[in-house]
Amino acid sequence: MIIKDAQIPDLKIIEPKVFEDDRGYFKETFRQSILEEAGINQPFVQDNISRSYKDTVRGLHYQLEKPQAKLVQCVKGTILDVAVDVRKNSATFGKYEAVILSDKNHQLFYIPEGFAHGFSVLSDEAIVHYKVSEYYDQPSERGIRWDDPLIRIHWDVARPIISDKDRKLPLFSALKDEDIFL
């Protein structure tokens, strides 16, 4: 595995070794010891899989009281994966990083605690698998509206498909101190 720093500190892009032949391919996408060598010391406790269709935008979500680090990969299709820094005292507070993840490039995106996460589907269908470092906790869940005018994420979708829940998320400018990481 090759682990590279992303533009925003603490975010990592992981490139597994892929062994391809006439049968298909094999890749190792998770090895705790290699992640620890790169400074990723999260105990992952839950795996999630989502299936979404072209132009779907999911997010931007995070958990405040029980924050989750995430290790995200797209096992079918192509997504634009996005992490927004919601750590108030960070030099990159309110900034985002976007990474293309696909079943072709095999990359994974490590997102530590303190970031809101979301993605858009660029292919006809996408299956996204991600590990999280804390169990899902609905009372702890927070979010930012996907089309926030201050963050200005270009999701690269023609006609966004958004859940009712995500449409009702607050704008970044409306977040109070109790809704961000201090």
Residue pLDDT, tens place only, 87-100: 999 999 999 999 99
Q: How many residues does the chain have?
A: 182
68-80 confidence digits (pLDDT tens): 999 999 999 999 9
Which listed residue (117, 130, 135, 136) is catalytic? 130
Which of 76, 78, 71, 60 is CA-nearest to residue 121?
A: 78
Answer yes or no: is pLDDT of 126 > 80. Answer: yes
Which of 38, 99, 90, 47 is CA-nearest to residue 70?
A: 47
31-73 confidence digits (pLDDT tens): 888 998 888 998 999 999 999 999 999 999 999 999 999 999 9
What's the average model confidence in pLDDT over 134-153? 96
179 φ, ψ to 5°? -110, 10
Answer yes or no: is pLDDT of 28 > 80. Answer: yes
Both tokens assigned to 91: 């030099």
Answer yes or no: is pLDDT of 167 > 90. Answer: yes
**What end-to-end distance do the CA atoms of the chain give, in Å?**
33
Please tell me the predicted confidence (pLDDT) of residue 152.
96
61 noted as active-site residue: yes
Which listed residue (61, 96, 110, 135) is catalytic? 61
Alpha-carbon distance of 81 to 123, in angstroms, equals: 13
CB 143 within 8 A of CB 164: no
CB 40 within 8 A of CB 117: no
Q: Which helix (H) or strand (E) holds 53?
A: strand 46-53
Please tell me the predicted confidence (pLDDT) of residue 31.
87
161 φ, ψ to 5°? -100, 115
62 noted as active-site residue: no
Please tell me the predicted confidence (pLDDT) of residue 182.
76
Domains of the chain, CATH where assigned: 2-179 (2.60.120.10)
